[in-house]
Amino acid sequence: MDRISKENYYLDIAQTVLERATCLRRVYGAIIVKNDEIIATGYNGAPRGRANCVDMGYCSREAQKVPRGERYELCRSVHAEANAIISAARRDMVGGTLYLVGRDARTGELLPDATSCAMCRRQVINAGLERVVIRRTPTEYEVVNVEDWVNEDDLMVPRDPDAILDQM
């Protein structure tokens, strides 16, 4: 009997978590693991007590014709990564790994381009997580070192104050 890798084991759990998601566009599940223990789980959905898109029958961003990947502040949902981070203490997450799986809500297909948005990346960084493992196919995944997200952001900021003024 062949055993699945630890990475796929945790990704399978994150994929089960996404079954609770309530978005009409893309559903995500996330789990945070440290020292081989699940610290927290999260899926995307409206804040507690507010109506979910699946209950309302429409997506507020689609109703406003907002393209995918833009204007997340108009979304009713709290993202899966954020919900997992909210559910854990930082001291338990530092050095841990976040496992993320996304699926198209309409087709059920895995999202080969799943990733964390800029807001969630900032939360992952501040949570002290070390890695993010993102499912690409049922057996393939990408491992992101969170330090790379930190460095990418630093590359986007001009170091020269005059360059900032020139852009204004």
Is 147 part of the annotated catalytic residue set? no
From 70, 73, 81, 142, active-site residue: 81
Could you identify the residue written with the tokens 């854990």?
88
By the 10 Å C-beta count (0-12 exposed, 13-18 middle, 19+ buried), 37 is classed as exposed
Query: What DSSP element (H or E) covers 38?
Result: strand 37-43
What is the spatial distance between Cα 62 and Cα 127, in angstroms, rounded to a whole number?
Answer: 31
What residues are labeled active site? 81
